[in-house]
């Protein structure tokens, strides 16, 4: 089992880029790190390239997206509206083809910045993510969105007074 990373760090790129590495030589943890890094760049094409054709993605409590085209639709929303994304891994652990992440996700939509806790489970098959399931707390997410919107409004009000 891979030792957990106990120091909070952004989803760092794998030691080699997925495009230059064969799937067989990329560890599941490196694949997940590369995937989260691609999302951090808002590079949905690079993120999709790391998914299996039959991938299943679910934010638990929301409907599943099955297959790469369905996941592409969901990621397109991130690419369309988000102006920033970061996944700060507090722990990332791999056991065979399974990778677990404990992280803080940060989503920015213009002036609104939301930070919320997420645990993710990834199954990597042949160097591609075949299953991606995120768990988060709705109360934490909604509070973060309200806090981010409040900060954005305060910032706008300050700019209006100038």
137 near 149, Cβ under 8 Å?
Answer: no
Q: Which of 43, 45, 134, 137 is catalytic?
A: 134
- What class, spelled out in words, does domain 9-161 have in CATH? alpha beta
The pLDDT assigned to 9 comes to 46
The pLDDT assigned to 126 comes to 96
Own/partner pairs, 33-39, CB within 8 angstroms, 24+ separation: 33/89, 33/92, 35/122, 35/129, 36/11, 36/87, 36/89, 36/101, 36/103, 37/10, 37/11, 37/12, 37/13, 39/11, 39/75, 39/78, 39/85, 39/87
The pLDDT assigned to 24 comes to 53
pTM: 0.76
Angle (nearest 5°) at CA 155 between 149 and 160: 125
The pLDDT assigned to 87 comes to 95
Length of the chain: 162
- Chain-centroid distance of CA 129 in Å reads 13
Q: Quick check: is 95 catalytic?
A: no
Helices (H) and strands (E) in the chain, counts: 4, 7
The pLDDT assigned to 2 comes to 35
Q: Quick check: is 105 catalytic?
A: yes
Report CA-CA distances (Å) from 95 to 4, 119, 158. Answer: 11, 16, 50
Cβ of 7: how many Cβ atoms within 10 Å? Answer: 8
The pLDDT assigned to 148 comes to 63
Per-residue pLDDT 10s for the chain (162 aa) are 333 344 444 444 333 334 444 455 689 999 999 999 999 999 999 999 999 999 999 999 889 999 999 999 999 988 788 889 999 999 999 999 999 999 999 988 887 888 989 999 999 999 999 999 999 876 776 776 676 666 666 666 666 666
Q: Return d(Cα 33, Cα 122) in angstroms, integer.
A: 11
The pLDDT assigned to 4 comes to 39
Tokens representing 140? 């934490």
The pLDDT assigned to 136 comes to 85
Q: Which of 37, 45, 95, 105 is catalytic?
A: 105
């Amino acid at each position: 089992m891979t030792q957990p990373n106990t120091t909070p760090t952004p989803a760092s790129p794998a030691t080699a880029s997925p495009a230059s590495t064969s799937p067989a030589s990329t560890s599941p943890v490196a694949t997940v790190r590369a995937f989260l890094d691609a999302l951090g760049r808002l590079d949905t094409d690079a993120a999709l390239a790391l998914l299996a054709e039959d991938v299943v993605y679910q934010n638990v409590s929301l409907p599943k997206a099955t297959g790469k085209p369905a996941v592409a639709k969901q990621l397109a929303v991130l690419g369309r509206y988000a102006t920033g994304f970061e996944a700060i891994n507090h722990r990332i652990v791999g056991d065979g083809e399974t990778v677990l992440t404990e992280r803080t996700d940060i989503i920015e939509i213009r002036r609104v910045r939301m930070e919320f806790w997420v645990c993710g489970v990834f199954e990597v098959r042949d160097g591609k993510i075949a299953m991606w399931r995120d768990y988060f707390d709705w109360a934490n997410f909604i509070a973060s969105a309200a806090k981010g919107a409040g900060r954005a409004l305060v910032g706008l009000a300050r700019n209006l007074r100038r």
